[in-house]
Structure 1
């Protein structure tokens, strides 16, 4: 199954932590990172005076079920030192399952597609680079992204690499 994961960081070596997350995700044999979007920088909304976020999207092929994929993401966050101190707190790494194919899931731990994806420029614009024709609640990602300004996003010249597979 093709799934899409959002990566974000606004503490410490932001790009390094995002790269480490990609590397750790692929330690799970049932998961392979196949594409990574460009990296964007954006403001940290609702967090006061904190560093800006770097954000990207990774396309992964996986045989993990959606909740198992979520658990893998949470494990990687923990391994990389994420401390959950509140919903709107700075983070070393943030991994979110954004979409699992075009599946619609409404579980207490996971809602797919992500419930606020249509509002998030820092998710839709990088996702559009990987999957413009992916349908989110019946609409193409490219069409959803076209409704959101990129004024608050800065395309970074840095990039994330696909993890090496041994």
Structure 2
């Protein structure tokens, strides 16, 4: 299978948030079918819809992969499990969260995967990190740079530390 450029959102709001995101990147990069090309700056933001819980750290990894979309999703879910994520509900705190937000130029609508992510345009914690590494990427017909221009950074704080694969 030819190599495809994909984007994976990383998030964590429990425990060693940055360490867990770093471990996820190392595990992803350890897959022979996947290469981490670059990683966005890390942003800290409030946890939306979860009540009084710790803030999230979020970043985006640009990867090159020969994995098919659902195989990439399965690899992300396996990394989450390896790092101790326990799914307790849709809007629950998490040690690590990995979401495939874009896979080449593909639009995928199936039970397990929606790509590009359907709510990306309203998520500042996804759009701004993505803008840092792929401003010209088109999501549902719009450039990421244009999406970023419409979303405030008011709830986001640039984290002083970075992630490296």
TM-score range (shorter-chain normalised) is: over 0.9
Output the CA distance in 2 between the equivalents of 1:135 and 1:59.
Answer: 14
Match of 1:109 in 2: 112
Output the CA distance in 1 between the equivalents of 2:58 and 2:29.
Answer: 19
The partner residue of 2:129 within 114, 126, 131 is 126
Structure 1 residue ranges without an equivalent (≥5): none
Match of 2:58 in 1: 55
SS of structure 1 residue aligned to 2:121: helix
1:11 Cα offset (Å): 0.2
1:51 Cα offset (Å): 0.3
Output the CA distance in 1 between the equivalents of 2:144 and 2:69.
Answer: 20
After TM superposition, where is structure 1 displaced by more than 2 Å over at least 4 residues in a row? none
SS of structure 2 residue aligned to 1:149: coil
1:141 Cα offset (Å): 0.4
**Matched length:** 162
Structure 2 residue ranges without an equivalent (≥5): none
1:68 maps onto 2:71 in alignment: yes
The partner residue of 2:15 within 12, 15, 23 is 12
1:143 maps onto 2:146 in alignment: yes
Q: Could you tell me whether the CA contact under 8 Å between 1:102 and 1:134 is conserved in 2?
A: no
SS of structure 1 residue aligned to 2:81: helix
1:43 maps onto 2:46 in alignment: yes
Output the CA distance in 1 between the equivalents of 2:155 and 2:105.
Answer: 28
Output the CA distance in 2 between the equivalents of 1:130 and 1:102.
Answer: 16
1:37 Cα offset (Å): 0.1
Q: Tell me the TM-score normalized by structure 1.
A: 0.97
Output the CA distance in 1 between the equivalents of 2:20 and 2:160.
Answer: 17
Output the CA distance in 2 between the equivalents of 1:103 and 1:142.
Answer: 19
